[in-house]
Structure 1
């Protein structure tokens, strides 16, 4: 039972990472973020990305999504180690 819940949480984290990547790629297409999908992803992804906006853009490239995805990977790996420790 608990293993199934953990797998479900890992799946949600993976989907969230994909949502971040799609949202970032949408910034390359004019008007894509103003579409229905873009607004939906913005409502989901922007609050998390805003936590990493303290990193200044370098040469007009925003590295906060990369740091955000790395942080999600650290959280997922930490959770996996905790589960392995207690199961």
Structure 2
């Protein structure tokens, strides 16, 4: 397994965790489950960083969208850096 594959796997898993955690906010009391608390432990510190700078507009919170975009940019930056270093 190549280092790029490992990094890709880690980013995909974390992105999936974020999406599931975001969707769980639409289901009442789903974040109170053991799985919800597990996801909260990993996702909320990252999402909380963006919530400080991007307040919700009414009932809509745009910070998760920005957080996912930033995560994608970070992933691409790491790919480009690894490509420059190893290929």
Asked if these proteins are the same fold (TM beyond 0.5), I'd say: yes
Q: Which ranges in structure 1 are unaligned for 5 or more consecutive residues? A: none
Question: What is the Cα-based RMSD across aligned positions, in Å?
Answer: 1.2
**Residue 79 in structure 1 maps to residue 78 in structure 2:** yes
Q: Deviations over 1:6-39 (max 9, x none)?
A: 2111111111011111001001111100011100
Question: Runs in 1 of length 4+ with deviation above 6 angstroms?
Answer: none
Other structure's SS at 2:70 match: helix
Partner of 2:62: 63
Q: Give the one of 48, 51, 56 matched to 1:50.
A: 48
Query: In the comparison of the two structures, how many residue pairs are matched?
Result: 85
TM-score normalised by structure 2 residue count: 0.90
Q: Deviations over 1:41-70 (max 9, x none)?
A: 000100111110120111211111111110
Q: Which ranges in structure 2 are unaligned for 5 or more consecutive residues? A: none
TM-score normalised by structure 1 residue count: 0.90
